[in-house]
């Protein structure tokens, strides 16, 4: 696999030969590199994003490996089908809500204080029976990220607002690939995230079942966001409109559709095929009876690798199946998984998709590495290295 890098940020297995994907990845890495809090948190460590073929699993997860860097896994359909704003929302969640916030020196004490305490849900305060609580939550960190007075919420919100500011300013300056719609979708992703956490106590299978309450929470979080936004913020002009129940259902339907259609890992780089030196390359004869070696055709974007591999292997031009089979097998499994998904009734499908939304994380113990103020080399032009 050839990684695709910009500064300390990297996509480990992106099919960068496809410009649709390389342009998007460059834009995302530029934004991460230009985000002061994220850049300071990453310091001189690598921050690697790996695309994975996923269906009902969470669309993303994160691991903080201390000095070895931060690793994010992101579903390939999410990278392919959602815009830069929504991907920044997802990465903001993974990086800022989890490891970045966890490094705050006072957060452990603060969060232990709120453990098991029923907390009001913005927008549903008049419904006394409805509260959120770290107990019984899918992930307690998510509850604290949705709790408006909490440090984790504040850090997540500020990370999103800074990214929204970057997006809005870039769009105003006409930066390549920047568009105002990304500001709107970033804020929308953030609001849907905190609203569905709060309403379902982070058991998000229920968010699609309670679209009215999810919409109320969404609009309440939007009010709070406005209160925390400077008067002259360029983001104000691009806030998403208030959401209704139908809008919530539309989001979940879209999510389910994105998982179940054309989810084949198209943006994932195909491992290089290595010819076995011990196996002689068979020769064929052209119509003038001149021999030429049969070599595998270079991979084409629209060719699924397993069939290309199979064809080449059957023709004897490559020795055997390459060792790194992970990505292949996932691609090969895709049609089967999609058939399984297609067999699920629509409402259940939406609910399953909803429950899959970032319901868990692989976590490392938070570590106490001091923030290093690395001196960065001037941005190199993004190229595959």
Closest distance of CB 60 from Zn ion, Å: 8
Between 71 and 358, name the residue whose CB sits nearer to Zn ion.
Answer: 358
Reference 58, options 340, 356, 278, 307; nearest CA is 356
Supply φ then ψ for residue 49, to 5 degrees.
Answer: -110, 130
Between 6 and 252, name the residue whose CB sits nearer to Zn ion.
Answer: 252
Between 199 and 318, name the residue whose CB sits nearer to Zn ion.
Answer: 199
Using Cβ positions, the residue closest to Zn ion within the complex turns out to be: 358
Size of the site for Zn ion (CB under 5 A): 1
Counting every residue written for the chain, the total comes to 385
Closest distance of CB 218 from Zn ion, Å: 18
Beta strands in the chain (DSSP E): 4-6, 9-11, 47-52, 60-64, 70-75, 119-120, 131-132, 283-285, 291-293, 383-384
Q: Is residue 36 classed exposed, middle or buried when 0-12, 13-18 and 19+ CB atoms within 10 A define those classes?
A: exposed
Closest distance of CB 272 from Zn ion, Å: 33
Half-sphere exposure of 112 (CA within 13 A, CB side): 4
Q: What is the DSSP letter of 46?
A: -
Closest distance of CB 175 from Zn ion, Å: 29
Q: Does 266 bind Zn ion (CB under 5 A)?
A: no
Reference 179, options 189, 191, 192, 166; nearest CA is 166
Contact flags string 197-216 toward Zn ion, x per CB under 5 A: --------------------
Between 146 and 187, name the residue whose CB sits nearer to Zn ion.
Answer: 146
Half-sphere exposure of 210 (CA within 13 A, CB side): 20
Between 111 and 358, name the residue whose CB sits nearer to Zn ion.
Answer: 358
Q: What is the DSSP letter of 144?
A: H
User: Which of positions 319-378 make contact with Zn ion (CB under 5 A)?
Assistant: 358
Contact flags string 92-131 toward Zn ion, x per CB under 5 A: ----------------------------------------
Closest distance of CB 190 from Zn ion, Å: 12
Between 140 and 382, name the residue whose CB sits nearer to Zn ion.
Answer: 140
Q: Which residues bind Zn ion (CB under 5 A)?
A: 358
């Amino acid at each position: 696999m050839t990684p695709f890098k910009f500064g300390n940020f990297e996509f480990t297995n992106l099919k960068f030969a496809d410009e649709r994907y390389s342009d998007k990845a460059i834009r995302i890495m530029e934004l991460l590199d230009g985000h002061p809090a994220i850049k300071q948190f990453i310091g001189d460590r690598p921050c690697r994003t790996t695309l994975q073929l996923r269906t009902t699993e969470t669309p993303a997860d994160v691991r903080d490996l201390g000095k070895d860097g931060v690793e994010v896994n992101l579903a390939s359909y999410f990278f392919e089908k959602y815009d830069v704003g929504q991907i920044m929302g997802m990465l903001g969640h993974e990086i800022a809500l989890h490891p970045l916030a966890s490094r705050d020196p006072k957060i452990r004490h603060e969060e232990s204080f709120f453990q098991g305490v029923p907390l009001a849900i913005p927008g549903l305060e008049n419904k006394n029976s409805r509260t959120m609580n770290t107990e019984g939550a899918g992930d307690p960190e998510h509850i604290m990220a949705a709790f408006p007075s909490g440090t984790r919420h504040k850090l997540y919100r500020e990370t999103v607002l800074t990214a929204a500011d970057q997006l809005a300013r870039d769009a105003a300056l006409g930066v390549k690939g920047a568009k105002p719609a990304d500001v709107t979708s970033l804020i929308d992703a953030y609001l849907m995230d905190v609203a569905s956490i709060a309403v379902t106590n982070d058991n998000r299978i229920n968010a699609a079942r309670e679209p009215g309450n999810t919409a109320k929470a969404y609009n309440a979080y939007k009010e709070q966001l406005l209160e925390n936004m400077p008067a002259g913020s360029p983001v104000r002009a691009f806030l998403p409109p208030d959401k209704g129940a139908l809008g919530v259902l539309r989001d979940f339907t879209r999510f389910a559709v994105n998982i179940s259609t054309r989810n084949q890992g198209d943006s994932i780089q195909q491992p290089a095929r290595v010819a076995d030196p011990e196996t002689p390359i068979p020769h064929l004869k052209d119509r003038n009876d001149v021999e030429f070696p049969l070599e595998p055709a270079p991979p084409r974007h629209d060719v699924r690798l397993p069939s290309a591999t199979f064809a080449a292997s059957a023709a004897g031009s490559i020795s055997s199946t390459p060792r790194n089979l992970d990505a292949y097998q996932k691609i090969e499994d895709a049609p089967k998984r999609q058939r399984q998904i297609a067999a699920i009734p629509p409402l259940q499908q939406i609910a399953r998709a909803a429950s899959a939304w970032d319901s868990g994380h692989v976590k490392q113990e938070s570590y106490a590495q001091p923030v290093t103020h690395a001196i960065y080399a001037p941005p190199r032009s993004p190229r595959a290295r």
